[in-house]
Amino acid sequence: MIWLIVTLTAAAAGVVQTVTGFGSVVTMMLVFPFLFDMIDAPALAIVINQLFCIALFWRYRKHLRLSLALWPTVLYCAASLVMIHFVKDLPTQSLVVALGALLIALSLYFLLVARRVKLSPRPVVGAVCGGLAGTSAGLFAIGGPPMALYFINACASPEEYQACMQFLFTVSGAVSLIGRVAGGILRPALLPYGAAGSAGILAGMVLGQHISRHLNADMARTVVYAFVGLSGAILLLQHLI
């Protein structure tokens, strides 16, 4: 049963990121903490996401503006590695509660605030967003939303936005995997689930390409982040009551 849930969740994650440009790991982290602990769940999400991000980046590689994407990616990776070093020593209960609060905050932010916020596309802003996103990614494997907010304002086209986002995810995912392996956080027992999830997320990418031709991206984001907030509330209630 766990195999099926992992595969279907990964497929849904592939649909979400193909349609919106980000959100695959967020989607997986709505479900994986119910199946695995808060050390294994982020590690598995990153394993599944890596092949998917490489495939998406390859599709948009010609639109990459490296000067825009490089420094946010470097800061993202550095902050993520620092947090990965400490995460295995943090109490699991506290991480679950923090994840629930983060999911609710992300949901409310994107539903109520994000459309009215315009970040300046200056390099220092990108570096700050990269550091904050990397910190969140190191703890929970969720770092996409702050970077999406930055790149959506800094990029000249949807294709450039996708190329910058997928470059960041591809590089940071590889760095995160190396850090988790070196820190003993990524267990070999997770790899078969990773293989099943990778097949699911690539199938989701194909489905997402069909859906994106007919679905308004704003509507997709609204549905996704409403579900994000609900799942965060469920996590909090399960561990606080």
Tens-digit pLDDT profile for residues 137-182: 887 777 777 787 788 778 888 788 889 988 998 998 888 788 778 7
Helices (H), the chain: 2-20, 24-35, 40-60, 66-87, 92-108, 123-140, 144-154, 158-182, 191-212, 217-240
Sign of the dihedral through C-alpha 145, 148, 149, 150: positive
Q: Could you give the 3-state DSSP secondary structure of residue 37?
A: coil
- For the chain, the domain total comes to 1
**How far is CA 52 from its chain centroid?**
12
Query: What was the pLDDT predicted at 216?
Result: 67
CB atoms inside a 10 Å sphere around CB 241: 5
The segments of the chain whose pLDDT lies below 50 read none
Amino acid at position 34, single letter: F
Query: What was the pLDDT predicted at 235?
Result: 72
Query: What was the pLDDT predicted at 167?
Result: 95
How many residues belong to the chain? 241
What range does the domain containing 51 cover? Answer: 2-240
Q: Could you give the 3-state DSSP secondary structure of residue 198?
A: helix
Reported pTM: 0.75
CA distance 39 to 69: 29
Query: What was the pLDDT predicted at 64?
Result: 94
Q: What share of the chain is helix, strand, coil (3-state, %, to 5)?
A: 85, 0, 15
Do 20 and 224 contact (CB within 8 A), yes or no?
yes
Query: What was the pLDDT predicted at 38?
Result: 77
Do 28 and 45 contact (CB within 8 A), yes or no?
yes
